[in-house]
Structure formats: structure tokens, C-alpha cells
Amino acid sequence: MVNVHSQKDMYQANLNACYLAASEGFPHLSIAEIIEPPHGMMDAFLVRQIVMHMMVTQFCWPKKRLWIEEQRNRHALYHGLKVIDERLTSTKFEAHYQTIAYRALELLAAHIREAA
């Protein structure tokens, strides 16, 4: 159950929606692999960067909140956001990214409706 008046609950609901949508978009990866990519699993690192990018650009969470909440290095987070910005110049990548972002929004909306 999500409390829509709690920033902490909404942050977690947004993050969960992003992870779930990303795992649907990359079904060969588990959510656990996306959250903590195993050493050398570059596709999992990329998908985690996509999740962080969606949190900033689609859900409008401040970058500072992400690196504090996710206990990530600030420079690593900024580098990941830049990597995804550069990848979005590819129309195929951008189309897949938008599909995942739209799905994350759908999942979040459904979760909020359930809570109401």
C-alpha cells in the first residue's frame, strides 16, 4: 500500500515501477541483477542507468535524492545519466526507452489506484 502523501512511499513506488518496467523490457535480466549488476554484466549496468535516468527525467526526482537514497556515487550517477542521454540519439534505443518509460508510468498509476 502506498501513501501518496508520503515522499518516501512515492519515491519507492516510482523506483519499483521503473525496475519492474525495465525488467519487462529486458526479460533476460532479473530485477536483482538490475538493482545490483554482477561484475562484468554490462547489460545490467545499462538497464540500471536507464532506471536512474527515468527516475530523473520521467518522474522528476532530483539527482541528489537519487544518489543519497540509492547510496550511489554522485559522479557515477551523473555519468550514467549522460550515457543514456547519448544513447537516446539512436532512434531504436529511444523507442525502446519510451516503451519502458510508458510502462513504468502505467505500473505506477495502477499501484496508486490500488491504494486509493
* One-letter amino acid for residue 57 of the chain: T
Amino acid 7 reads Q
Q: Other CB atoms closer than 10 Å to residue 49's CB: what's the count?
A: 21
Going by CATH, does the domain composed of 7-115 fall within 1.10.1750.10?
yes
Task: Give the Cα separation of 50 and 85 in Å (integer).
Answer: 10
Report the distance separating Cα 61 and Cα 38, nearest Å: 26
Residue 15: closest CA among 43, 54, 42: 54
pTM attached to this predicted model: 0.91
Tell me the pLDDT tens digit for each residue of 28-75: 999 999 999 999 999 999 999 999 999 999 999 998 888 777 777 788
What per-residue confidence (pLDDT) applies to 67?
Answer: 79
Every domain of the chain and the residues it spans: 7-115
Q: Are 52 and 68 in contact (CB under 8 A)?
A: no
